[in-house]
């Protein structure tokens, strides 16, 4: 991403708004996309909301694993709500402008919640590691106080850095085009519109991606390598199957989220394209929140039993 070191003064203006192009390249599909995205949003809110509810009210789910799952599902509802409502508004009204302040706010919340998701997925992997590799120490290591501290740390840990990174980006001078070739204010397409030397900003984005995405992902992979090594040694096939089933759901969500996010933020800036960025962003902002409740409810006997009990109570 090469930018001129200094843009002519006449071309630098104080921007009041950007324009999110979104899916404007397929005008004939606007209402189809609007209906599809509304359906997806309802599925995400209802599905994740149900998991939050059952992990709170069902006595059999009052364990660290489901405490983290309930927090993760609540996070997914918040995360998707930073982008999808704006996409729906743009599709319905065809008004694609977004104010400078609203764009910065959307980016900031997306980055903060994205960092929280990375941390929470890491904490969930650590929980499974302790449960399977150190079962005798599990009640001591994963007591209520420790679990609460881990969740609070996950929610607030990324706030200072992500607020700073957003401020750094939006203090840049912008000139020329105001068209953001994306459906929300993500870092790569916004940086692409900046004037002057953005080397420092690109370096900070890379370091942020290392700290908030790559390091957690490597910790998760390390945890699962230990888990797999332990499970293989279990004498009973039933025990091995049960251990793998409790981890496979989490691992599926990890691969969906981290796979797309890492590709997005670790690709060379020269290889960024609007179409590819939008496709990859759909995976970590919409697809993962949508599949999260399905993955956990379909592959988890405890969750299915809790859902049946909840439905029986509602029907009776």
Q: What are phi and psi of 142, to 5 degrees?
A: -115, 50
Of 18-22, 47-51, 232-236, 243-247, the poorest mean pLDDT is in 243-247
Q: What is the pLDDT of residues 31-85, one digit of tens each?
A: 898 999 999 999 999 999 999 999 998 888 899 999 999 999 999 999 999 999 9
Please tell me the predicted confidence (pLDDT) of residue 26: 79
DSSP H/E element including 179? strand 179-180
CA–CA separation, 99 vs 19, rounded Å?
9
Give 122's pLDDT tier (boundaries 50, 70, 90): very high
**pLDDT value of position 14:** 59
Phi, psi of 222 (to 5 degrees): -60, -45
pLDDT, mean of residues 138-146: 93
pLDDT value, residue 11:
43
Q: Average pLDDT, stretch 178-188?
A: 89
| pLDDT of amino acid 129 | 93
With 80 as the cut, is the pLDDT of residue 261 above it? yes
Region 217-222: what's the mean pLDDT?
Answer: 94
Q: Which residues are CB-contacts of 147 (< 8 A; sequence separation ≥ 6)?
A: 64, 67, 68
Strands (E), 13-161: 17-20, 97-99
d(CA 273, CA 275): 6
How far does CA 257 lie from the centroid of its chain?
A: 6
> Whose structure tokens read 């400078």?
100
Give the distance from CA 159 to its chain's centroid: 15
Domains and CATH numbers, the chain: 15-315 (1.20.1070.10)
Confidence of residue 292 (pLDDT cuts 50, 70, 90): confident
Judge contact between 264 and 276, C-beta under 8 A: no
Structure tokens of 179? 């068209």
């Amino acid at each position: 991403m090469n930018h001129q070191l200094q843009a002519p003064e006449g071309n630098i203006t104080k921007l009041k708004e950007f324009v999110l192009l979104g899916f404007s390249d397929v005008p004939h599909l606007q209402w189809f996309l609007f209906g599809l995205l509304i359906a997806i949003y309802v599925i995400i809110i209802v599905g994740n909301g149900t998991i939050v509810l059952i992990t709170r009210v069902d006595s059999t789910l009052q364990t660290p694993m489901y405490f983290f799952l309930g927090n993760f599902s609540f996070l997914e509802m918040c995360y998707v709500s930073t982008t999808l409502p704006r996409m729906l508004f743009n599709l319905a009204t065809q008004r694609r402008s977004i104010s400078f302040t609203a764009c910065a706010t959307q980016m900031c919340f997306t980055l903060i919640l994205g960092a929280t998701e990375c941390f929470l997925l890491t904490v969930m992997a650590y929980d499974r590691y302790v449960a399977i590799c150190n079962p005798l120490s599990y009640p001591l290591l994963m007591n209520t106080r420790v679990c609460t501290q881990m969740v609070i740390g996950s929610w607030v840990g990324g706030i200072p850095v992500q607020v700073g990174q957003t401020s750094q980006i939006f203090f840049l001078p912008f000139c020329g085009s105001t068209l953001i070739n994306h459906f929300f204010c993500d870092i790569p397409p916004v940086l692409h519109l900046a004037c002057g030397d953005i080397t420092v900003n690109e370096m900070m984005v890379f370091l942020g991606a290392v700290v908030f995405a790559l390091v957690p992902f490597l910790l998760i992979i390390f945890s699962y390598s230990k888990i797999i090594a332990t499970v293989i040694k279990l004498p009973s096939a039933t025990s091995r199957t049960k251990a793998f089933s409790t981890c496979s759901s989490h691992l599926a969500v990890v691969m969906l989220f981290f796979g797309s996010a890492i590709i997005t933020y670790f690709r060379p800036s020269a290889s960024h394209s609007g179409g590819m960025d939008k496709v990859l962003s759909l995976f970590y902002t919409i697809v993962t929140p949508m599949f999260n409740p399905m993955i956990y409810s379909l592959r988890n006997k405890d969750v299915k039993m809790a859902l049946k009990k909840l439905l029986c109570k509602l029907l009776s």
